[in-house]
Every structure is written in structure tokens, then in C-alpha cells.
Amino acid sequence: MRRKPGARARGNSLVPRIVELSRRLEESSIAEYVEFMRNPRRVIWSNFLGGMARGFGFAVGASVLAAVFLYLLSAIISLNIPIIGRFVSEIVKFVEEHRGLR
């Protein structure tokens, strides 16, 4: 039986592919990941810490955005634009009353 030019025999091309696959799996740290997933306490602790970090980041980000928004509203009030200024001053009064500043 004749082979196509440049084609390898089936038995010879499989071994290098398996060796290459094995090398890539070792480099990808699959074993460490499997060990990690087999320990439920470690997975739960890791997810808990990740959730805490995301929640803290959300709270800090929301606080910064709210502070910037209130600062911009107070700057608009100081410009004394008749319609917008009155509307914004009502919003700021409402926010301050509910925060306990007045």
C-alpha cells in the first residue's frame, strides 16, 4: 500500500502527539486544580474571600460615585440656575434629611 508524500505511518505519529499532550497537561497545572477542587473547605473559603472582596469593592465604588454625584449637584446649585437649581436643591435636601444631617 502506498502512502501519500509527507504522510507518516499511523503508529509513529501517535506517540509524539501523546508525549506533547502529556507535556502540555503538566504545564497547565491540571493536577493542582484537581487537588483544589477535591477539598471542599478550600473551595468554599476561596469563594467566600472572593465574594467579600467583590462586595467591598462594590460598596466603596458606590460610595465614591454617590459622593461625586452629590458634589456635582451642590456645584449646580451654587450656579443659581432657576429651574435646575430649585430641583437639585430639593434632591439635596431630601438626601441630607434622610442621612440625618438636618
Distance CA 102, CA 90 (A): 13
Residue reference for cell 460598596: 59
Residue reference for cell 473547605: 41
pLDDT of residue 101: 57
pLDDT tens readout for residues 28-50:
887 788 888 899 999 999 999 99
φ, ψ (nearest 5 deg) of residue 60: -65, -45
pTM of the complete model: 0.50
Cβ of 90: how many Cβ atoms within 10 Å? 10
Higher pLDDT pick, 86 / 14: 14
- Please report how the helices 30-38 and 40-78 are oriented relative to each other, as an axis angle in degrees rounded to 10: 90
pLDDT of residue 67: 92
